[in-house]
Amino acid sequence: MVRNFTQKETLPGPALEYALHLRFVPEMTLAEINKAAAMWMGDRSRVVLVSGPEKPGVAPVEEAKLAAVVAGVGAKPIAAYVDTVAGMTLMDKVPEPGKVVKTGRQEGAGITEWELSNGVKVVLKPTDFKQDEIVFRAMSPGGTSLASDAEYIPASTAAQVMSVTGLGKFSTMDLRKVLAGKIASVRPVIAETEEGLIGSGSPKDLETLFQLIYLNMEKSLAFYKDRFADASDFTFVFVGTFSLDTMRPLVERYLGSLPTLHRKESWKNVGMRPPTGIVQKMVRKGMEPQSRAAIVFTGPFQYDQAHRIAMRALGVVLDTRLREVLREDLSGTYGVSVPPSYTKVPEERYSFAINFGCDPKRTEELVKTVFAEIAALQAKGPTEKQVNDVRESFLKDFETNSKQNSYVMSQIYLRYQTGEDVNEFFRLPELYKKLDGAAIHAAAREYLKADNYVQVILYPDKPATAPAAAR
C-alpha cells in the first residue's frame, strides 16, 4: 500500500498476487535468474559506503585500496554451495540415562518434583492452557558475582557469545538447518547471582528440546564452562502440555546424564549498593529539544508476598495520579512510567523509579509537581476508587496471566529460587481481595522518602534557556 501511494505501483491484493505467483514462478528458469543477477549485481552504478571512528590513530580507508578490495573479491572463483548438513541429526549418540531417585508433590499447586541420581532437580507443572507449548527455565546459584574484577566482562558476555557460536558440531547457520521445521529453542543466561537456561518447544519436538539443553550444558568457554560444568545444583522448571510419563525418560536421559561435581557453592554479595541521601545530577547531551527526568527511590525491603503486592499497588496508584496531573491536567508530557522493582538476592532491596520526558523549559515545574503528588499521597493515602481499581486490575490480570504457560513458569521459578512456598502463587487472588488503602498508604511513606533518592535530568546541549537544577 505504501508503494501504491508513493510510487503508483498497482495494488492487486493478496488473492491475485498469490495467483500470479502460481502462474509465473514455475516458469522461471535458472538462466533467467542468472541473467537478472548479472544485470543487477554488476560493477556499474555501484556505491560503496564505509563507516568508522573519527579519532587520532585511525586512518580512513583510501578510495583506491577499497576499490582494489572490491575488484579482487569479484575476480575470485567462488565454489558452488554444498549442503553438508542434510540428513544429519543433533546428536550422533544419545547419552546413557540417569534415574529419578526421589519424587515429591505439591498437591495444591499440581506440581511434581523429581530429584535425579546426579543431583539435578526437576519441577513439572502440566497444563492445558495451550495445546502445543512447553516452556522451561533452569537455575543455579552463582553467576557473575563469582567472577573476579578482571574476569567480569568476559563472564557477563559469555552467554551472549555462546548463543551465536553454534552448538556441538554445528555452526549457527548449520544449526538452523538441522532445526528447520522443529519448534524448540534453548539459550543460556548468566546473571549477577545465577546462571541457567531458558527455552520452549512443541510437545512433538520435546526430545529435540532436551537435546538442545544437553548440548548447551556441554559447551566450553572459560567462565561459561566453569558455571555449567556442575549440574548438581541446577533446578529445571517445566510448564506446559506434557504428561509425566512422556517427560520421565527424557528427563532421565538428558538431564540425569549431565556432568556433576557436587560443588557446594552459592552467589556472592559483591557489595554494589545505590547511594544514600539526596543525589541530584544534570547531564547535557544531544540536540533533541527534549529533557528526560528520572527520580529513583531505593532502600531495604521486606521481601514477602504482602509487601510485594503493596509495592506494586503503590506503583499503579502513583502512575495513575502522575499521568492524570502531568499529562492530562498540565499537558507536560506524553507519558510517565513508574516501575517498581525488588530483589531478594544478594540483598532484600527495592527500587522505585519515576521517568518522563518533557519540554526542557518545563522540567523544573514538572519535577516539583511529582514531589508534590508524592507528598499528597503520603499525607492522605489513596482514594477508595484508586484502591478498588488496583484490586480489580490485579484480579483481572491474574485471571488472564494464570492461563499463560510462560507466566506460570516464571512465578513457580521465582518461588523455587527464593525458597518460598509455591502454593502462595495460587493464593494470590485471596491476597488481592484483602488489599486496602492502609497498605498502599504505608508503602508510600516507606518507599518514597524525601530524604533518600537519586534525581538525574538530561537536558539537550543547547537548550533555549538554561534552567536551574530542579527542586
What are the grid coordinates assigned to 56, written together? Answer: 587520532
Distance from C-alpha of 146 to C-alpha of 141, rounded to nearest angstrom? 10
Per residue in 118-151, pLDDT (tens digit) is 999 999 999 999 889 999 999 999 888 888 888 8
Residue 194's Cβ-count burial label (10 Å; 0-12, 13-18, 19+) is buried
- Select the highest-mean-pLDDT range: 219-228, 359-368, 460-469: 359-368
Spatial contact of 124 and 109, defined as CB atoms under 8 Å apart: no
- What would the mean pLDDT of 423-441 be, rounded to a whole number? 95
Distance from C-alpha of 454 to C-alpha of 429, rounded to nearest angstrom? 34
Distance from C-alpha of 243 to C-alpha of 178, rounded to nearest angstrom? 26
Q: How confident is the model at residue 405 (pLDDT cuts 50, 70, 90)?
A: very high
CA dihedral 369, 372, 376, 377 (to 10 degrees): 70
Q: Is the pLDDT of residue 220 over 70?
A: no
At 10, the amino acid letter reads T
Q: Is the pLDDT of residue 273 over 70?
A: yes
Residues 6+ apart with CB under 8 A from 322: 336, 338, 354, 356, 370, 373
For 166: left if phi > 0, alpha if psi spans -120 to 50, otherwise beta; the answer is left
SS3 118: coil
- What would the mean pLDDT of 85-96 be, rounded to a whole number? 86
Strand order, beta sheet including 121-126: 100-106, 111-116, 121-126, 235-240, 134-141, 194-201, 184-190
Distance from C-alpha of 414 to C-alpha of 335, rounded to nearest angstrom? 30
Pairing of strands 121-126, 235-240: parallel
pLDDT value for 466: 45
Q: What is the pTM for the complete model shown? A: 0.79
Per residue in 286-304, pLDDT (tens digit) is 888 899 999 999 999 999 9
Query: What stretches of 234-348 show up as alpha helix (H) in DSSP?
Result: 244-250, 305-322
Q: Cis bond leading into 346, ω under 30°?
A: yes
Taking CA atoms, 124 is separated from 75, 139, 161, 365, in Å, by 58, 14, 30, 53
SS3 69: helix
Q: How confident is the model at residue 254 (pLDDT cuts 50, 70, 90)?
A: very high
Distance from C-alpha of 141 to C-alpha of 233, rounded to nearest angstrom? 8
Q: What share of the chain is helix, strand, coil (3-state, %, to 5)?
A: 45, 20, 40
Distance from C-alpha of 459 to C-alpha of 287, rounded to nearest angstrom? 9
Instruction: Using alpha carbons only, give the angle 390, 441, 370 rounded to the nearest 5 degrees.
Output: 85
Distance from C-alpha of 83 to C-alpha of 131, rounded to nearest angstrom? 35
Domains of the chain (ranges plus CATH)?
Answer: 2-75 (no CATH), 100-255 (3.30.830.10), 278-459 (3.30.830.10)
57 secondary structure, DSSP code:
T
Taking CA atoms, 418 is separated from 151, 228, 444, in Å, by 27, 21, 25
- What would the mean pLDDT of 96-120 be, rounded to a whole number? 95
- What would the mean pLDDT of 276-280 be, rounded to a whole number? 96
Per residue in 301-352, pLDDT (tens digit) is 999 999 999 999 999 999 999 999 999 999 999 999 999 999 998 999 999 9
Per residue in 23-58, pLDDT (tens digit) is 999 999 999 999 998 888 777 788 888 888 888 888
At 419, the amino acid letter reads G
- CB hemisphere CA count around 125 (13 angstroms): 29
Q: Is the pLDDT of residue 117 over 70?
A: yes
Distance from C-alpha of 104 to C-alpha of 98, rounded to nearest angstrom? 18
Residues 6+ apart with CB under 8 A from 413: 137, 139, 237
Spatial contact of 123 and 238, defined as CB atoms under 8 Å apart: yes
